[in-house]
Structure 1
């Protein structure tokens, strides 16, 4: 017998269980607050055992951070797919919007995505994990920028600084949007944020930009 279908079925089952746990946890955490929800409540809502929970997640923090899974890879992929001649500010704005669009899900009429973002930003333990993720996203975007422009990420300041500015814009937009309870348009905020940093982003060393003289 070919074992691959079993492996595929097992993986799909794992994804389903993980999704059910994540959904149950996010609903509870968003409605009751991080500290008020226990793992016992999460597993009871999801209809699984506590042992199953810890097979997928090490803590409550991990469940919420799962909401952000894949954002870094998606932003890097979008940056890699942008036209080579496009200004860096435009390419990075489109890349960051991929992440922002997930956080500010316009198809989510229940407001759950907004509540989860507010939960993350308002809970020190979750915010710390979020910032850890952002540090990895910065490194990924910096590596892509270096490759895109033929720069040395170890010797050139530009890739890391540009990636950092882009994610600072992302963070500022996320705080502004969530602080308005979703009333402000996230896409408009993203465009405004990148308009502020575009002059610096578009000064690419070796690509028509200016290097400071020694």
Structure 2
């Protein structure tokens, strides 16, 4: 995944260092395992001091959390950008697929990092924390799309939660297969299971 361009020379330099640290950290963590890698090794691999590392990240976990943040960036925007006439399942499937596709499009590194995240309890916990934030954002947008009060109706939160469960299941299956299974096919299969529930509530409300 590429970082967004930033404005000033200082900002560009800072972003470059952050990107180099992230790349070095993810490569080491994926290759050697989370517990085996030290901050000193990450800093050395990136060609910076340990002090510089801590200017950008407070821990090894934070490097991966930043990667996770990038995975979820734009999820709500993708959902908001779907045509109003899309059924909920179609709109959410597109949202999930765009994120999965961004991962699969960088397979060599991303597959290793996803396996690291899913296989390391501390990182998995942070991943689930991130998913909770994404769920709230998706639920707010879903409530807007279907004209429901998110404070009164359960549907928006449940719909967002189902979509993110599908997202997690697809990543898990793709990771377990070593990248052999097609993410698009996995996404289609996941939404074939949950689409009836996602669409039935809205259809019934409209009738």
In the superposition, the TM-score normalised over structure 2's length comes to: 0.92
For residues 127 and 102 of structure 1, what CA distance do their matches in structure 2 show? 19
Residue 103 of structure 1 deviates from its aligned partner by 2.2
For residues 87 and 35 of structure 2, what CA distance do their matches in structure 1 show? 44
In the superposition, the TM-score normalised over structure 1's length comes to: 0.90
Task: Give unpaired runs (5+ residues) of structure 1.
Answer: 1-6
For residues 71 and 31 of structure 2, what CA distance do their matches in structure 1 show? 24
SS at match of 2:100: helix
Residues 142-201 of structure 1, C-alpha deviation per residue, up to 9 Å, x if partnerless?
000011122111111000000000000011111111001011001100000000000010
Tell me which residue corresponds to 1:61.
Answer: 61
SS at match of 1:82: coil
The change in CA–CA distance for 1:150 and 1:17 in structure 2 (over 3 A counts) is: same
SS at match of 1:69: helix
Task: Give unpaired runs (5+ residues) of structure 2.
Answer: 1-6
For residues 188 and 124 of structure 2, what CA distance do their matches in structure 1 show? 24
Tell whether 2:136 aligns with 1:136.
Answer: no
**8 Å CA contact 1:104, 1:113 repeated in 2:** yes
Matching of residues 1-214 of structure 1 within 5 Å: 8-105=8-105, 107-108=106-107, 111-205=108-202, 208-210=203-205
For residues 12 and 43 of structure 1, what CA distance do their matches in structure 2 show? 19
**8 Å CA contact 1:97, 1:187 repeated in 2:** yes
CA RMSD, aligned part only? 1.4
Residues 69-128 of structure 1, C-alpha deviation per residue, up to 9 Å, x if partnerless?
2333311111000000011101000001121112222x54xx221000000000011101
For residues 209 and 21 of structure 1, what CA distance do their matches in structure 2 show? 51
Higher fraction of helix:
2
Q: Which runs of 4+ in 1 moved over 3 A?
A: none
Residue 210 of structure 1 deviates from its aligned partner by 4.6
* Larger radius of gyration between Structure 1 and Structure 2: 1
Residue 14 of structure 1 deviates from its aligned partner by 1.1
Residues 42-89 of structure 1, C-alpha deviation per residue, up to 9 Å, x if partnerless?
000001111111111111011112212233331111100000001110
Residue 10 of structure 1 deviates from its aligned partner by 1.2
Q: How many residues align?
A: 200
